[in-house]
Amino acid sequence: MNSTSLFYLIGFILIAKFAIDTVLDYLNAKKFKDPIPMELADVYDEAAYSKSQLYKRTNYSFGLLSSLFSLLLTLGFLWFGGFEWVDTFVRGFATEPITMALLFFGLIILGSDLIMLPFSYYRTFVIEEKFGFNKSSRKLFFLDKIKGWGMLAVLGGGMLAGIIWFFEWAGTSFWLYAWGLIALFSIVMNLFYSRLIVPLFNKQTPLEDGPLKDKIQGYARKVGFELKNIFVIDGSKRTTKANAYFSGFGKEKRVTLYDTLISELNENEIVAVLAHEVGHYKKNHIVVNLTTSILVTGITLYLLSLFVNNPEVAMAIGVKIPSFHAALIGFGILYSPISELTGLAMNYLSRKFEYEADNYAKETYEATPLISSLKKLSRNSLSNLTPHPAYVFMHYSHPPLIDRVRNLRA
Ligand SMILES: [Zn+2]
Protein backbone atom coordinates (compact mmCIF):
# COMPACT_ATOMS: atom_id res chain seq x y z
CA MET A 1 0.00 0.00 0.00
CA ASN A 2 1.35 3.47 -0.80
CA SER A 3 1.22 6.39 1.61
CA THR A 4 -1.79 8.02 -0.08
CA SER A 5 -3.97 4.93 0.36
CA LEU A 6 -2.67 4.61 3.93
CA PHE A 7 -3.60 8.26 4.53
CA TYR A 8 -7.19 7.55 3.47
CA LEU A 9 -7.20 4.29 5.44
CA ILE A 10 -6.26 6.27 8.57
CA GLY A 11 -9.13 8.70 7.93
CA PHE A 12 -11.47 5.76 7.42
CA ILE A 13 -10.37 4.08 10.67
CA LEU A 14 -10.95 7.29 12.67
CA ILE A 15 -14.41 7.84 11.14
CA ALA A 16 -15.41 4.18 11.50
CA LYS A 17 -14.50 4.19 15.20
CA PHE A 18 -16.54 7.34 15.75
CA ALA A 19 -19.50 5.83 13.84
CA ILE A 20 -19.45 2.58 15.83
CA ASP A 21 -19.21 4.41 19.16
CA THR A 22 -22.01 6.77 18.20
CA VAL A 23 -24.32 3.92 17.20
CA LEU A 24 -23.61 2.15 20.50
CA ASP A 25 -24.24 5.35 22.48
CA TYR A 26 -27.49 5.81 20.60
CA LEU A 27 -28.66 2.23 21.26
CA ASN A 28 -27.77 2.66 24.92
CA ALA A 29 -29.61 5.98 25.15
CA LYS A 30 -32.76 4.45 23.66
CA LYS A 31 -32.95 2.26 26.78
CA PHE A 32 -32.60 5.11 29.30
CA LYS A 33 -36.36 5.08 29.88
CA ASP A 34 -36.76 1.31 30.14
CA PRO A 35 -38.56 0.06 33.25
CA ILE A 36 -36.16 -0.91 36.05
CA PRO A 37 -35.95 -4.67 36.69
CA MET A 38 -37.93 -5.75 39.77
CA GLU A 39 -34.84 -6.86 41.70
CA LEU A 40 -33.53 -3.29 41.50
CA ALA A 41 -36.76 -1.51 42.39
CA ASP A 42 -35.31 -0.34 45.72
CA VAL A 43 -32.24 1.37 44.22
CA TYR A 44 -33.96 4.65 43.35
CA ASP A 45 -37.00 6.44 44.64
CA GLU A 46 -38.91 8.39 42.02
CA ALA A 47 -37.01 11.67 42.46
CA ALA A 48 -33.58 9.98 42.36
CA TYR A 49 -34.63 7.98 39.31
CA SER A 50 -35.60 11.02 37.28
CA LYS A 51 -32.36 12.69 38.41
CA SER A 52 -30.40 9.65 37.18
CA GLN A 53 -32.20 9.81 33.83
CA LEU A 54 -31.32 13.46 33.44
CA TYR A 55 -27.70 12.65 34.34
CA LYS A 56 -27.56 9.91 31.68
CA ARG A 57 -29.06 12.18 29.01
CA THR A 58 -26.71 15.04 29.90
CA ASN A 59 -23.66 12.78 29.65
CA TYR A 60 -24.93 11.32 26.41
CA SER A 61 -25.23 14.67 24.61
CA PHE A 62 -22.03 16.00 26.10
CA GLY A 63 -20.14 12.81 25.09
CA LEU A 64 -21.47 13.08 21.55
CA LEU A 65 -20.40 16.72 21.27
CA SER A 66 -16.91 16.17 22.66
CA SER A 67 -16.18 13.07 20.56
CA LEU A 68 -17.41 14.82 17.41
CA PHE A 69 -15.18 17.79 18.20
CA SER A 70 -12.20 15.52 18.84
CA LEU A 71 -12.79 13.62 15.57
CA LEU A 72 -12.97 16.84 13.53
CA LEU A 73 -9.87 18.14 15.26
CA THR A 74 -7.87 14.99 14.41
CA LEU A 75 -9.12 14.82 10.82
CA GLY A 76 -8.44 18.54 10.31
CA PHE A 77 -4.95 18.18 11.76
CA LEU A 78 -4.22 15.28 9.39
CA TRP A 79 -5.79 16.96 6.35
CA PHE A 80 -4.01 20.29 6.78
CA GLY A 81 -0.61 18.67 7.39
CA GLY A 82 -0.42 19.33 11.14
CA PHE A 83 2.01 16.47 11.80
CA GLU A 84 4.33 17.67 9.04
CA TRP A 85 4.19 21.19 10.47
CA VAL A 86 5.11 20.00 14.00
CA ASP A 87 7.85 17.76 12.56
CA THR A 88 9.43 20.66 10.64
CA PHE A 89 9.16 22.90 13.70
CA VAL A 90 10.87 20.28 15.90
CA ARG A 91 13.65 19.75 13.33
CA GLY A 92 14.47 23.44 13.65
CA PHE A 93 15.54 22.80 17.27
CA ALA A 94 16.92 19.28 17.35
CA THR A 95 18.60 16.74 15.11
CA GLU A 96 18.99 13.91 17.58
CA PRO A 97 16.18 11.27 17.32
CA ILE A 98 15.40 11.07 21.06
CA THR A 99 15.16 14.83 21.54
CA MET A 100 13.11 15.17 18.36
CA ALA A 101 10.67 12.47 19.44
CA LEU A 102 10.28 13.95 22.93
CA LEU A 103 9.58 17.42 21.52
CA PHE A 104 7.26 16.02 18.84
CA PHE A 105 5.12 14.00 21.27
CA GLY A 106 5.34 16.67 23.95
CA LEU A 107 3.91 19.33 21.62
CA ILE A 108 1.18 17.09 20.22
CA ILE A 109 0.03 15.76 23.59
CA LEU A 110 0.18 19.13 25.35
CA GLY A 111 -1.54 20.85 22.42
CA SER A 112 -4.42 18.40 22.16
CA ASP A 113 -4.84 18.33 25.94
CA LEU A 114 -5.05 22.13 26.08
CA ILE A 115 -7.61 22.20 23.27
CA MET A 116 -9.72 19.56 25.07
CA LEU A 117 -9.30 21.28 28.45
CA PRO A 118 -12.58 23.26 28.25
CA PHE A 119 -14.40 19.94 27.86
CA SER A 120 -12.94 18.37 31.00
CA TYR A 121 -13.45 21.66 32.86
CA TYR A 122 -17.10 21.70 31.79
CA ARG A 123 -17.57 18.08 32.80
CA THR A 124 -16.24 18.70 36.31
CA PHE A 125 -17.54 22.18 37.11
CA VAL A 126 -20.82 22.20 35.21
CA ILE A 127 -22.13 18.63 34.83
CA GLU A 128 -20.70 16.91 37.92
CA GLU A 129 -21.31 20.09 39.93
CA LYS A 130 -24.96 20.29 38.86
CA PHE A 131 -25.61 16.71 39.99
CA GLY A 132 -23.83 17.22 43.30
CA PHE A 133 -20.82 14.97 42.63
CA ASN A 134 -18.06 17.53 42.32
CA LYS A 135 -15.97 18.38 45.40
CA SER A 136 -12.89 19.59 43.52
CA SER A 137 -11.85 23.24 43.58
CA ARG A 138 -10.56 25.08 40.51
CA LYS A 139 -7.13 25.22 42.09
CA LEU A 140 -7.09 21.45 42.67
CA PHE A 141 -8.36 20.81 39.14
CA PHE A 142 -5.49 22.75 37.52
CA LEU A 143 -2.94 21.41 39.99
CA ASP A 144 -4.03 17.86 39.02
CA LYS A 145 -3.58 18.76 35.34
CA ILE A 146 -0.07 20.08 35.90
CA LYS A 147 0.93 17.11 38.03
CA GLY A 148 -0.50 14.79 35.37
CA TRP A 149 1.60 16.45 32.67
CA GLY A 150 4.70 16.31 34.89
CA MET A 151 4.15 12.63 35.55
CA LEU A 152 3.61 11.91 31.85
CA ALA A 153 6.74 13.87 30.94
CA VAL A 154 8.89 11.93 33.42
CA LEU A 155 7.43 8.42 33.02
CA GLY A 156 6.17 8.54 29.42
CA GLY A 157 9.14 10.60 28.25
CA GLY A 158 11.56 8.26 30.00
CA MET A 159 10.00 5.18 28.40
CA LEU A 160 9.93 6.78 24.94
CA ALA A 161 13.57 7.82 25.25
CA GLY A 162 14.50 4.27 26.32
CA ILE A 163 12.63 2.68 23.41
CA ILE A 164 14.22 4.96 20.82
CA TRP A 165 17.63 4.40 22.38
CA PHE A 166 17.10 0.63 21.93
CA PHE A 167 16.00 1.26 18.33
CA GLU A 168 19.15 3.26 17.54
CA TRP A 169 21.28 0.59 19.14
CA ALA A 170 19.63 -2.69 18.09
CA GLY A 171 17.62 -1.85 14.94
CA THR A 172 14.37 -3.75 14.46
CA SER A 173 15.13 -6.19 17.29
CA PHE A 174 14.61 -3.15 19.59
CA TRP A 175 11.16 -4.58 20.29
CA LEU A 176 12.56 -7.31 22.56
CA TYR A 177 14.44 -4.83 24.75
CA ALA A 178 11.54 -2.37 24.71
CA TRP A 179 9.27 -5.21 25.78
CA GLY A 180 11.58 -6.02 28.69
CA LEU A 181 11.61 -2.36 29.73
CA ILE A 182 7.82 -1.97 29.57
CA ALA A 183 7.24 -5.30 31.35
CA LEU A 184 9.56 -4.26 34.17
CA PHE A 185 7.85 -0.88 34.35
CA SER A 186 4.39 -2.52 34.54
CA ILE A 187 5.47 -4.82 37.37
CA VAL A 188 7.09 -2.01 39.34
CA MET A 189 4.00 0.18 38.83
CA ASN A 190 1.69 -2.61 39.92
CA LEU A 191 3.73 -3.18 43.07
CA PHE A 192 4.46 0.40 44.05
CA TYR A 193 1.63 2.40 42.46
CA SER A 194 0.09 3.10 45.86
CA ARG A 195 3.43 4.18 47.32
CA LEU A 196 4.79 6.20 44.39
CA ILE A 197 1.93 7.65 42.37
CA VAL A 198 -1.12 7.92 44.62
CA PRO A 199 0.63 10.20 47.19
CA LEU A 200 1.11 12.81 44.44
CA PHE A 201 -2.66 13.22 44.26
CA ASN A 202 -4.14 11.92 47.51
CA LYS A 203 -3.55 11.36 51.16
CA GLN A 204 -3.68 7.76 52.39
CA THR A 205 -3.96 6.88 56.03
CA PRO A 206 -3.95 3.40 57.60
CA LEU A 207 -7.44 2.36 58.66
CA GLU A 208 -7.76 3.30 62.33
CA ASP A 209 -8.22 0.71 65.08
CA GLY A 210 -11.81 0.00 66.00
CA PRO A 211 -14.74 -2.30 65.30
CA LEU A 212 -14.45 -1.97 61.49
CA LYS A 213 -10.79 -2.94 61.45
CA ASP A 214 -11.46 -5.84 63.87
CA LYS A 215 -14.23 -7.07 61.64
CA ILE A 216 -12.06 -6.84 58.51
CA GLN A 217 -9.17 -8.62 60.18
CA GLY A 218 -11.50 -11.27 61.57
CA TYR A 219 -12.63 -11.97 58.02
CA ALA A 220 -9.06 -11.95 56.65
CA ARG A 221 -7.97 -14.49 59.29
CA LYS A 222 -10.93 -16.72 58.51
CA VAL A 223 -9.97 -16.99 54.83
CA GLY A 224 -6.23 -17.21 55.59
CA PHE A 225 -5.37 -13.92 53.96
CA GLU A 226 -2.51 -11.92 55.38
CA LEU A 227 -3.72 -8.33 55.27
CA LYS A 228 -1.51 -5.75 56.94
CA ASN A 229 -2.13 -2.82 54.65
CA ILE A 230 -5.62 -1.37 54.72
CA PHE A 231 -5.63 2.28 53.73
CA VAL A 232 -8.26 4.97 53.60
CA ILE A 233 -7.89 7.45 50.76
CA ASP A 234 -9.37 10.98 50.75
CA GLY A 235 -11.38 10.53 47.55
CA SER A 236 -13.90 13.03 48.98
CA LYS A 237 -11.66 15.94 48.06
CA ARG A 238 -12.61 15.46 44.40
CA THR A 239 -15.90 13.60 44.20
CA THR A 240 -18.72 12.12 46.24
CA LYS A 241 -18.49 8.90 44.18
CA ALA A 242 -17.16 5.96 46.20
CA ASN A 243 -14.75 3.15 45.34
CA ALA A 244 -12.41 0.48 46.68
CA TYR A 245 -9.52 -1.28 44.98
CA PHE A 246 -6.78 -3.80 45.44
CA SER A 247 -3.20 -3.24 44.34
CA GLY A 248 0.17 -4.98 44.39
CA PHE A 249 0.98 -8.55 45.33
CA GLY A 250 3.21 -10.45 47.75
CA LYS A 251 4.29 -8.24 50.63
CA GLU A 252 3.17 -5.10 48.76
CA LYS A 253 -0.47 -6.08 48.52
CA ARG A 254 -2.89 -3.58 49.94
CA VAL A 255 -6.56 -2.69 50.00
CA THR A 256 -7.55 0.95 49.53
CA LEU A 257 -10.97 2.15 50.64
CA TYR A 258 -12.35 5.57 49.71
CA ASP A 259 -13.43 7.66 52.69
CA THR A 260 -16.70 8.14 50.80
CA LEU A 261 -17.18 4.35 50.78
CA ILE A 262 -16.69 4.17 54.54
CA SER A 263 -19.20 6.92 55.23
CA GLU A 264 -21.74 5.47 52.82
CA LEU A 265 -21.75 1.77 53.74
CA ASN A 266 -22.28 -0.02 57.04
CA GLU A 267 -19.61 -2.34 58.48
CA ASN A 268 -21.07 -5.55 57.05
CA GLU A 269 -21.24 -4.00 53.60
CA ILE A 270 -17.64 -2.77 53.79
CA VAL A 271 -16.41 -6.25 54.76
CA ALA A 272 -18.43 -7.69 51.85
CA VAL A 273 -16.75 -5.25 49.43
CA LEU A 274 -13.40 -6.18 50.94
CA ALA A 275 -14.22 -9.89 50.54
CA HIS A 276 -14.83 -9.19 46.84
CA GLU A 277 -11.39 -7.53 46.60
CA VAL A 278 -9.75 -10.46 48.44
CA GLY A 279 -11.50 -12.70 45.89
CA HIS A 280 -9.66 -10.92 43.07
CA TYR A 281 -6.39 -11.67 44.81
CA LYS A 282 -7.15 -15.27 45.79
CA LYS A 283 -8.32 -16.13 42.27
CA ASN A 284 -5.05 -14.73 40.85
CA HIS A 285 -6.79 -12.03 38.84
CA ILE A 286 -4.09 -9.48 39.59
CA VAL A 287 -1.32 -11.71 38.21
CA VAL A 288 -3.38 -12.92 35.22
CA ASN A 289 -4.25 -9.34 34.23
CA LEU A 290 -0.66 -8.23 34.51
CA THR A 291 0.62 -11.22 32.50
CA THR A 292 -2.00 -10.75 29.78
CA SER A 293 -1.24 -7.07 29.36
CA ILE A 294 2.51 -7.79 29.16
CA LEU A 295 1.86 -10.43 26.47
CA VAL A 296 -0.33 -8.05 24.47
CA THR A 297 2.40 -5.40 24.72
CA GLY A 298 4.94 -7.89 23.35
CA ILE A 299 2.79 -8.70 20.33
CA THR A 300 2.13 -5.00 19.67
CA LEU A 301 5.83 -4.14 19.85
CA TYR A 302 6.71 -7.02 17.53
CA LEU A 303 4.19 -5.75 14.95
CA LEU A 304 5.56 -2.24 15.37
CA SER A 305 9.05 -3.57 14.61
CA LEU A 306 7.77 -4.95 11.27
CA PHE A 307 6.45 -1.55 10.16
CA VAL A 308 8.66 1.01 11.84
CA ASN A 309 11.28 1.09 9.08
CA ASN A 310 8.68 1.41 6.35
CA PRO A 311 8.73 5.08 5.22
CA GLU A 312 5.12 4.76 3.98
CA VAL A 313 3.86 4.49 7.56
CA ALA A 314 5.39 7.84 8.55
CA MET A 315 4.30 9.43 5.28
CA ALA A 316 0.76 8.16 5.84
CA ILE A 317 0.26 10.87 8.46
CA GLY A 318 1.65 13.45 6.01
CA VAL A 319 5.20 13.63 7.42
CA LYS A 320 7.80 13.87 4.62
CA ILE A 321 10.96 12.77 6.41
CA PRO A 322 10.52 9.23 7.84
CA SER A 323 11.34 8.88 11.53
CA PHE A 324 10.60 6.63 14.49
CA HIS A 325 8.25 9.15 16.10
CA ALA A 326 6.19 9.71 12.92
CA ALA A 327 6.01 5.97 12.25
CA LEU A 328 4.88 5.42 15.85
CA ILE A 329 1.84 7.68 15.37
CA GLY A 330 1.00 6.20 11.96
CA PHE A 331 1.30 2.70 13.37
CA GLY A 332 -0.71 3.67 16.46
CA ILE A 333 -3.72 4.68 14.36
CA LEU A 334 -3.43 1.82 11.84
CA TYR A 335 -3.17 -0.64 14.71
CA SER A 336 -6.11 0.83 16.68
CA PRO A 337 -8.74 -1.57 15.24
CA ILE A 338 -6.67 -4.46 16.60
CA SER A 339 -6.21 -2.77 19.95
CA GLU A 340 -9.99 -2.28 20.06
CA LEU A 341 -10.31 -6.05 19.74
CA THR A 342 -7.77 -6.80 22.46
CA GLY A 343 -9.57 -4.21 24.61
CA LEU A 344 -12.82 -6.08 24.04
CA ALA A 345 -11.20 -9.35 25.09
CA MET A 346 -9.77 -7.71 28.22
CA ASN A 347 -13.21 -6.31 29.13
CA TYR A 348 -14.75 -9.74 28.65
CA LEU A 349 -12.13 -11.28 30.94
CA SER A 350 -12.62 -8.50 33.48
CA ARG A 351 -16.39 -9.07 33.66
CA LYS A 352 -15.77 -12.79 34.15
CA PHE A 353 -13.40 -11.96 37.00
CA GLU A 354 -16.00 -9.72 38.63
CA TYR A 355 -18.42 -12.65 38.85
CA GLU A 356 -15.67 -14.84 40.30
CA ALA A 357 -14.83 -12.21 42.94
CA ASP A 358 -18.54 -11.80 43.76
CA ASN A 359 -18.87 -15.57 44.12
CA TYR A 360 -15.85 -15.66 46.38
CA ALA A 361 -17.41 -12.99 48.63
CA LYS A 362 -20.67 -14.94 48.64
CA GLU A 363 -18.96 -18.22 49.60
CA THR A 364 -16.61 -16.85 52.25
CA TYR A 365 -18.78 -14.05 53.64
CA GLU A 366 -22.33 -13.20 52.61
CA ALA A 367 -24.24 -12.23 49.49
CA THR A 368 -26.81 -9.94 51.12
CA PRO A 369 -24.49 -7.12 52.30
CA LEU A 370 -22.61 -7.23 48.98
CA ILE A 371 -25.89 -6.80 47.10
CA SER A 372 -26.94 -3.89 49.29
CA SER A 373 -23.50 -2.26 48.97
CA LEU A 374 -23.60 -2.54 45.17
CA LYS A 375 -27.05 -0.98 45.17
CA LYS A 376 -25.94 1.88 47.41
CA LEU A 377 -22.90 2.53 45.22
CA SER A 378 -25.11 2.56 42.10
CA ARG A 379 -27.49 5.04 43.70
CA ASN A 380 -24.58 7.15 44.91
CA SER A 381 -23.21 7.48 41.36
CA LEU A 382 -26.62 7.68 39.61
CA SER A 383 -25.56 4.75 37.45
CA ASN A 384 -27.47 3.34 34.52
CA LEU A 385 -29.55 0.32 35.57
CA THR A 386 -30.73 -0.55 32.05
CA PRO A 387 -27.69 -0.49 29.73
CA HIS A 388 -27.92 -1.93 26.21
CA PRO A 389 -26.28 -5.40 25.94
CA ALA A 390 -24.16 -4.32 22.94
CA TYR A 391 -22.90 -1.31 24.90
CA VAL A 392 -22.09 -3.54 27.86
CA PHE A 393 -20.26 -5.99 25.59
CA MET A 394 -18.08 -3.23 24.13
CA HIS A 395 -17.47 -0.87 27.05
CA TYR A 396 -18.21 -2.41 30.45
CA SER A 397 -15.35 -3.77 32.55
CA HIS A 398 -17.92 -4.76 35.22
CA PRO A 399 -21.18 -6.63 34.60
CA PRO A 400 -24.36 -4.50 34.90
CA LEU A 401 -25.81 -4.34 38.41
CA ILE A 402 -28.82 -6.52 37.54
CA ASP A 403 -26.59 -9.39 36.36
CA ARG A 404 -24.42 -9.19 39.46
CA VAL A 405 -27.45 -9.18 41.76
CA ARG A 406 -28.99 -12.16 39.94
CA ASN A 407 -25.70 -14.04 40.12
CA LEU A 408 -25.31 -13.29 43.83
CA ARG A 409 -28.87 -14.45 44.54
CA ALA A 410 -28.57 -17.63 42.47
ZN1 LIG B 1 -14.00 -6.26 41.30
Radius of gyration of the chain (CA): 23
Q: Are 281 and 246 in contact (CB under 8 A)?
A: yes
Q: What is the DSSP letter of 230?
A: E
pTM: 0.92
**42: exposed, middle or buried (C-beta count within 10 Å: 0-12, 13-18, 19+)?**
exposed
Q: What proportion of the chain, given as a percentage, has pLDDT over 70?
A: 100
Considering the candidates 25, 87, 269, 358, report the single residue annotated as catalytic. Answer: 358
Tell me, in angstroms, the distance from the centre of ligand 1 to residue 357's CA: 6
Q: For 80-88, what is the mean pLDDT?
A: 96
Residue 183 has pLDDT above 90, yes or no: yes
Q: Clarify whether 128 is annotated catalytic.
A: no
Q: How far is the CA of 260 from the centre of ligand 1 (A)?
A: 17
What residue spans of 203-266 are helical by DSSP H? 211-222, 259-264
pLDDT for the residue 180: 98
Ligand 1 (ion): which residues have CB within 5 A?
354, 357
Classify residue 45 by burial, with Cβ atoms within 10 Å: 0-12, 13-18, 19+: exposed
Query: Looking at residue 254, what is its pLDDT?
Result: 87
pLDDT single digits (tens) 9-37: 999 999 999 999 999 999 999 999 899 99
pLDDT confidence bin for 226, thresholds 50/70/90 = confident
Give the distance (Å) from ligand 1 centre to CA of residue 354.
5
pLDDT grade, residue 1 (50/70/90)? Answer: confident
Q: Are 273 and 267 in contact (CB under 8 A)?
A: no
How close is the Cα of 400 to the center of ligand 1, in Å?
Answer: 12
Paired residues of 256 in beta bridges: 231, 245
Type of residue at 221: R
What is the rounded average pLDDT of the residues 46-66? 95
DSSP H or E segment with residue 372 = helix 367-380
280 alpha carbon – ligand 1 mean position (Å): 7
| Helices of type H across 210-366 | 211-222, 259-264, 267-282, 285-307, 311-315, 324-364
Beta bridge partners of 230: 255
Cα 43 to averaged position of ligand 1 atoms, centre (Å): 20
Q: Is 403 designated active site? A: no
Total residue length of the chain: 410
Nearest to 52 by CA among 118, 137, 116, 133: 133
Q: Is the pLDDT of residue 280 over 80?
A: yes
Distance CA 398, CA 404 (A): 9
Please provide residue 202's backbone torsions phi and psi, each rounded to the nearest 5 degrees: -140, 165
H helix or E strand, kind and range, residue 244: strand 244-247
End-to-end CA distance of the chain: give it in Å, rounded.
54
Residues 286 and 357: their CA atoms lie apart, in Å, by 12
- Residue 276 C-alpha to ligand 1 middle, in angstroms? 6
For range 342-354, the mean pLDDT: 97
pLDDT greater than 90 at residue 361: yes
268 burial (CB, 10 Å; 0-12 / 13-18 / 19+) is middle
Do β-strands 230-233 and 204-206 pair in parallel, antiparallel, or remain unpaired?
antiparallel
Among residues 128, 264, 269, 277, the one annotated as catalytic is 277
Say how far residue 126 (Cα) sits from the centre of its chain. Answer: 22
Measured in Å, residue 351 CA sits from the centre of ligand 1 at 8
Beta bridge partners of 246: 255
